[in-house]
Amino acid sequence: MINQQADPGATSTTTDASGAANPTPLPPDVQEGTSHLDLARDAFKQGDYATASSEINTAIKALPKDAALHEFRALVYFATKDYKQAAATLYAVLSAGPGWDWTTLSGMYASTATYTEQLRALEDFVKSNSGSSEGHFVLGYHYLTCGHTEAARKQYEEVLKLQPGDQLATQ
């Protein structure tokens, strides 16, 4: 869902027996969720995280089981330095399946420089709060998403030191 550009009046296309295309309207909940996701992404790219948060929450109300919407919500928490909420949200998302790749994550930003600043802020937070399992978990996720597997592994090892037996960090 997150990689699709949606139009509130979007349709899907089916073909009839003759092969003619028949546009079929998307279900209202999908239209609503997708429309609010688009608004959230636009606000996020502009650095308007309050609007992005409000819009993604509305999208999630329409499509509560869409993991990509929840992953975007975690990104908003990350951008606003709410690492505890980011970790809780990411934990649920990653328990259900794999997270985004770098292409998807970087596509949420108007500039990768903004992402880099936010990542550096998280790194500083983790250095200053070495006992924060949430900080290590979120940092591990971002390192993994960026393709830095060894750095991610080290962060997840820290999570395991702080939270022995954490099944997701073990994976």
* Tens of pLDDT, residues 28-72: 667 777 888 999 999 999 999 999 999 999 999 999 999 999 999
pLDDT band at 135 (very low <50, low <70, confident <90, very high): very high
* φ and ψ of 16, to 5 deg: -90, -175
Cα(54)–Cα(69) distance, integer angstroms: 12
The answer to whether residue 14 scores a pLDDT higher than 60 is no
Q: 139 or 14: which carries more pLDDT confidence?
A: 139
Mean pLDDT (whole number) for 130-146: 96
Range with the lowest mean pLDDT among 6-20, 40-54, 79-93, 148-162? 6-20
* Alpha helices (H) in 63-111, listed in sequence order: 67-79, 83-96, 102-106
pLDDT band at 22 (very low <50, low <70, confident <90, very high): low
The answer to whether residue 80 scores a pLDDT higher than 50 is yes
Hey, what are 40's tokens? Answer: 């959230």
Q: 96 or 81: which carries more pLDDT confidence?
A: 81
